[in-house]
Amino acid sequence: MNKVNNYRGFSLAWVIGIVVVTSIISAITAGVIVYNNNKLSYDTTYGDLSNDKDLNEFLSVYANILSSYYEDVDTGALLDQAIAGMMDYLGDDYTTYLDDESTAELFDSLSGEYTGIGVSINNSDKSIVKVYKDTPASKAGIQEGDIIVGFNDTDVTNMTATEVVNLIKGSNDYFTLRLQRGTQTVSVSLKNETLIAPNIDYYMVENTNIGYLSLQTFSNTLATQVKDALNELEKSGMKSLIIDLRNNTGGYLTAATDVANMFLEKGKRIYGLNYQNNITNFNDETSEHKEYEIVVLINENTASASEILAAALKESYGATLVGETSFGKGKVQQTMKLDDGSMVKYTSAYWLTPNGTCIDGIGINPDYYIVNEEVTDEAGNITIPDAQLNKAIEVLQE
């Protein structure tokens, strides 16, 4: 391959770089033209491309490859590698090409929905770790601690948890699970449903009027889950709140905005976007807001949309930050799905905190810097007390 390309005077990298242009044009022609007045992007039209000498040269080279190369060319594979090469050329850690499988996994994780019965399963012994409310599992009477030993007529005791999950998810009709419950074997009949993926955990801190709310991912359904959780906590007498964003690596910007809208007063700044030195600010436009005191927990894995929410709560709401300096991802990505199911993800802007600060590569510093450290007792047992959470409770009790 390299010998042939060198003989013709074209490096593979150069050919790949130009092939990408055609790939992207083909991928976005179907719909974007209709909504952007025949524009391929915000500032590029077909007329612009028809006058692009480099693009015309590429089209000639590409046509010759397809018609004259000595072997059959897998254009799909070639374009996959071409797009990946273009993303890599830009030199941005967050600009990348995702194949169809990776794209599907990403959208599944951020969709906020899944098909299943509503349980968490222990990977080692296939026991039920958690049964979620209002799901097929809870309605069928499955209990935490039950161990899955059978699926329909199949004994699954020697299967892995992943294999059992695949059996369950692959069923399109009612099926029977046999469960070991203590010394008894229980059988339940149930069917998969489309469920909201739980992305939060919440409870009232024991012997206090402090609520605790942990956010794991900024998915499409996060705002609905947060709203329901706040309603329940407030009904339970919550007077102040801990929002745990530790190890939350982000997700959809719209989800972070929707959650911020629940807390900030109308008109308060949520974030700004710096696109080629043009700054656009985004403020709360809702009438909903909260007034109780808030502490936000952050650490080195708090990133992206999590940092946007943490900064908004600190600078526009007056929340206190406890923990460690956050990751420092101050860039926003756009995504574009291609016809074959793959996707390109590229950085489109820097985001700014309400005070106009760019935290990219720097992170957000907490008001109280606390590290969770290992503690060894006299017997040699090692534990890691949650000093960050304890400090958050202390701050709210003062």
Choose the catalytic residue: 329, 331, 342, 391. Answer: 329
* Average pLDDT, integer, range 207-222: 95
What is this structure's pTM? 0.75
- 103: number of Cβ within 10 Å: 20
Phi-psi region of 266 (alpha: psi -120 to 50; beta: other; left: phi over 0): beta
pLDDT at 19: 39
* Average pLDDT, integer, range 277-302: 96
Examine the pLDDT at 10 and tell me if it is beyond 70.
no
Positive/negative CA dihedral, 71, 74, 79, 80: negative
pLDDT at 42: 56
pLDDT tens, position by position, 69-82: 889 988 878 777 77
pLDDT at 76: 76
**Rounded CA gap, 264 and 354, in Å?**
12
Question: Which has more confidence, 104 or 212?
Answer: 212
pLDDT at 157: 93
**Rounded CA gap, 388 and 370, in Å?**
6
Q: Burial, 376: exposed, middle or buried (Cβ in 10 Å; 0-12, 13-18, 19+)? A: exposed
* Average pLDDT, integer, range 292-301: 97
Q: Out of 99-113, 197-211, 260-274, 329-343, pick the least confident.
A: 99-113
60 carries an active-site annotation: no
Mean model confidence pLDDT for the chain? 85
Q: How confident is the model at residue 41 (pLDDT cuts 50, 70, 90)?
A: low
Q: Out of 12-21, 167-176, 281-290, 353-362, pick the least confident.
A: 12-21
Q: How confident is the model at residue 43 (pLDDT cuts 50, 70, 90)?
A: low
Examine the pLDDT at 328 and tell me if it is beyond 90.
yes
* Average pLDDT, integer, range 244-264: 95
Sketch out the chain's domains with CATH numbers. 2-89 (no CATH), 113-196 (2.30.42.10), 200-397 (3.90.226.10)
Examine the pLDDT at 315 and tell me if it is beyond 90.
yes
Question: Which has more confidence, 126 or 55?
Answer: 126
Q: Out of 25-34, 49-58, 86-95, 105-114, pick the least confident.
A: 25-34
* Average pLDDT, integer, range 174-194: 95
**Amino acid at the residue 49:** L
Report the percentage of the chain scoring pLDDT > 70: 89
Q: How confident is the model at residue 303 (pLDDT cuts 50, 70, 90)?
A: very high
Examine the pLDDT at 25 and tell me if it is beyond 50.
no
pLDDT at 165: 92
398 carries an active-site annotation: no
**Rounded CA gap, 206 and 203, in Å?**
9
Question: Which has more confidence, 278 or 33?
Answer: 278
391 carries an active-site annotation: no
Contacts 24+ apart (CB under 8 A), 201-205: 202/229, 202/232, 202/233, 204/233, 204/236, 204/237, 204/238, 205/242, 205/393
pLDDT at 5: 37
Distances (CA, A) of 68 to 61, 63, 64, 104: 10, 8, 5, 35
pLDDT at 128: 95
pLDDT at 14: 38
Choose the catalytic residue: 214, 240, 304, 316. Answer: 304
Choose the catalytic residue: 23, 306, 315, 326. Answer: 315
